[in-house]
Amino acid sequence: KVDCCVSSIAIVETGESPEIPQKIPVGIITDRDLVQFQALGLVRDESLQKS
């Protein structure tokens, strides 16, 4: 089963070269992860910020 409309946030690190700044993907957080973390009491309202 494929689910549609799942939001996600890519977690990236900046590369080591200052001349060519690259963003290297290292993870992903989905809206389902946030719901599960909230249900477990692992997310506080102030920790969810828009950038």
Residue 35 CA from chain centroid, whole number = 13
pLDDT for the residue 4: 67
Q: Decide if pLDDT at 11 tops 60.
A: yes
Q: Decide if pLDDT at 26 tops 80.
A: yes
Domain extent, residue 12, equals: 8-45
pLDDT tens readout for residues 33-46: 888 988 998 866 66
- Write down the pTM of the prediction: 0.54
Residues whose CB is less than 8 angstroms from the CB of residue 37 and which lie 6 or more positions away in sequence, other chains included: 43
Mean predicted confidence (pLDDT) in 24-31: 91
Identify whether 36 is part of a domain: yes
Identify whether 2 is part of a domain: no
Q: How confident is the model at residue 17 (pLDDT cuts 50, 70, 90)?
A: confident
Identify whether 1 is part of a domain: no
Give the count of domains, the chain: 1
Output the CA angle 25-19-13, nearest 5 degrees: 20
